[in-house]
């Protein structure tokens, strides 16, 4: 199992190219199931979750042709679902990646049938998919849960008015994809507004889908009889960009997050400015400079455009060495503070009070051996390791590889001392 060894204390300087967004790529790959024509996707990040999704889709009979990588490592994929025979997402795949549930809506809409393993709980919480099921049932699907599997059948889905009980990102995506091929009009109320949903919807529109209300919490979809092939370029990963900017805030220095878009990162950039980051957007991306110790900030996670739960561990890492005390409240997932005990090993002073972490900034962290527990917790630990004095070893870095493209290479390119060790 690989680990990162970090010699902390280097300021970050240089340019880092931001990869395509994981959370846009995953639903977009699944949208390939909605047509028998080729879908050409550019700027696909070479991540473990993306290859897991490809394997899942190939297992169904979709062809995924990988073109040569571009000089910055991003891939172009051509998908074609003209020979799909196995309408199933088995447990072995879903347990390694919950986003596998995104095949449910497309399979049901195009083939009238799907068998998808229930994802079950995961490290950061229970994460049920009841809203996906509720919405598809409202569209006329017959769904039963049997031996841990969602068994779904439908004739042609019917447009419906759906109001989800909470804001759900993949739930909105699943229902939106299903509605594109339904008979009649579907209205999704309380829809998630994340930029990745807009990216997916934009691609669906270029496949011929009729979707209105992009970027709002009310999506209206006029179903069409069929969708056609398209070309699409995946948006930049706003969480990756935010992670590098948090790292910069903690270590000091200056960097260009090439390709990052400020309009998709409002809450993160506002917090970082409050913490003392000086940033500007240009045509190339976001240029940022950090000088001296950050100021502590309070952050409360919320659906977009609120502060992203996927940035919570990283902003906490900034607070650990900031001046003053910052409160970090997690409102989306019930168990997303597992990085706290690992950050304490580096000397961070953090108390948990219910869903809030009270982070008292300390003058310095010191290196230690810590363990990554989930994707974003790992990113928070990397930031803490970059600023800690001495050596930090982060075990179980495979979590990080699910969602960050060659993070250690990118950090080394910015002057950090990070080595991947295989044991």
Site of interaction with ligand UD1 (CB under 6 A): 23, 26, 98-99, 125-132, 166, 168-171, 309-310, 332-333
Q: How far is the CB of 166 from ligand UD1 (least distance, A)?
A: 5
Place of tokens 């000091």: 252
Q: How far is the CB of 289 from ligand UD1 (least distance, A)?
A: 29
Q: Using alpha carbons, list the distances in angstroms from residue 169 to 146, 157, 200, 327.
A: 25, 21, 11, 25
Q: How far is the CB of 253 from ligand UD1 (least distance, A)?
A: 28
- Rounded CA separation 301/33 (Å): 33
What does the CA dihedral 168, 342, 243, 235 come to, rounded to 10 degrees?
-40
**Encoded tokens for 109:** 């809409």
Q: How far is the CB of 34 from ligand UD1 (least distance, A)?
A: 18
Cis ω before 73 (30° cut-off from 0): no
* Whole-angstrom Cα Rg for the chain: 21
- Closer to ligand UD1 by CB, 6 or 116: give it: 116
Q: How far is the CB of 412 from ligand UD1 (least distance, A)?
A: 26
Burial class (CB in 10 A: 0-12, 13-18, 19+), 70: exposed
Q: How far is the CB of 129 from ligand UD1 (least distance, A)?
A: 5
- Rounded CA separation 384/368 (Å): 10
- Closer to ligand UD1 by CB, 169 or 297: give it: 169
CA-CA-CA-CA torsion sign (46, 50, 52, 57): negative
- Mapped onto helix, strand or coil, the DSSP state of residue 43 is strand
- Rounded CA separation 246/241 (Å): 9
- Closer to ligand UD1 by CB, 72 or 130: give it: 130
Angle CA 183–108–153, to nearest 5: 100
Q: How many CB atoms lie within 10 A of CB 283?
A: 4
- Rounded CA separation 366/347 (Å): 6
- Closer to ligand UD1 by CB, 132 or 271: give it: 132
What one-character-per-residue DSSP string does 79-111 give? EE-SS----EE-HHHHTT-GGGGGGHHHHHHHH
- Closer to ligand UD1 by CB, 368 or 407: give it: 407
Place of tokens 């204390």: 9
8 Å CB contact between 323 and 360: no
Among 240, 249, 322, which Cα is nearest to 279's?
A: 249
> Within its chain, how far is the Cα of 149 from the centroid?
24
Instruction: Catalogue the active-site residues.
Output: 122
- Closer to ligand UD1 by CB, 239 or 321: give it: 239
Among 151, 92, 141, 86, which Cα is nearest to 116's?
A: 151
- Closer to ligand UD1 by CB, 333 or 337: give it: 333
8 Å CB contact between 179 and 156: no
Q: How far is the CB of 46 from ligand UD1 (least distance, A)?
A: 17
- Closer to ligand UD1 by CB, 88 or 310: give it: 310
CA-CA-CA-CA torsion sign (113, 197, 213, 35): negative
Q: How far is the CB of 11 from ligand UD1 (least distance, A)?
A: 29
């Amino acid at each position: 199992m690989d680990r990162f060894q970090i010699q902390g204390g280097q300021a970050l300087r240089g340019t880092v190219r931001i990869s395509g967004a994981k959370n846009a790529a995953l639903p977009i790959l699944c949208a390939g199931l909605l047509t028998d024509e080729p879908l050409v996707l550019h700027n696909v990040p070479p991540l473990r979750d993306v290859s897991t999704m490809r394997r899942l889709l190939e297992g169904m009979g979709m062809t995924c042709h990988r073109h040569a990588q571009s000089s910055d490592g991003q891939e172009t994929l051509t998908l074609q679902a003209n020979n799909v025979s196995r309408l199933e997402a088995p447990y072995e795949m879903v347990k390694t990646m919950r986003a596998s549930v995104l095949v449910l809506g497309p399979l049901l809409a195009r083939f009238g049938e799907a068998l998808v393993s229930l994802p079950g709980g995961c490290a950061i919480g229970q994460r049920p998919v009841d809203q996906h099921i509720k919405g598809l049932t409202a569209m006329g699907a017959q769904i039963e849960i049997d031996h841990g599997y969602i068994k779904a059948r439908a004739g042609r889905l019917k447009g419906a008015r759906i109001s989800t009980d909470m804001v759900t990102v993949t739930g909105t995506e699943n229902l939106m994809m299903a509605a594109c091929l339904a008979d009649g009009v579907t209205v999704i109320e309380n829809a998630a507004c994340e930029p990745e949903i807009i990216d997916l919807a934009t691609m669906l529109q270029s496949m011929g889908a009729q979707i209105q209300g992009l970027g709002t919490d009310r999506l209206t979809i006029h179903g069409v009889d069929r969708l056609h092939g398209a070309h699409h370029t995946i948006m930049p990963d706003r969480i990756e960009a935010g992670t590098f900017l948090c790292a910069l805030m903690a270590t000091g220095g200056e960097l260009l997050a090439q390709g990052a878009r400020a309009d998709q990162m409002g809450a993160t950039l506002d917090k970082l400015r409050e913490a003392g980051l000086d940033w500007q957007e240009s045509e190339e991306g976001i240029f940022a400079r950090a000088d001296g110790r950050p100021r502590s900030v309070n952050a409360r996670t919320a659906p977009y455009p609120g502060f992203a739960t996927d940035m919570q561990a990283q902003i906490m890492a900034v607070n650990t060495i900031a001046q003053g005390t910052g409160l970090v409240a997690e409102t989306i997932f019930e168990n997303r503070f597992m990085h706290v005990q690992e950050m304490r090993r580096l000397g961070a002073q953090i108390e948990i009070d219910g869903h809030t972490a009270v982070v008292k900034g300390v003058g310095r962290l010191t290196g230690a051996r810590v363990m990554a527990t989930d994707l974003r917790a790992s990113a928070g630990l990397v930031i803490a390791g970059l600023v800690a004095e001495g050596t930090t070893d982060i075990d179980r870095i495979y979590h990080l590889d699910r969602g960050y493209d060659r993070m250690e290479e990118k950090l080394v390119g910015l002057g950090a001392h990070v080595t991947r060790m295989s044991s």
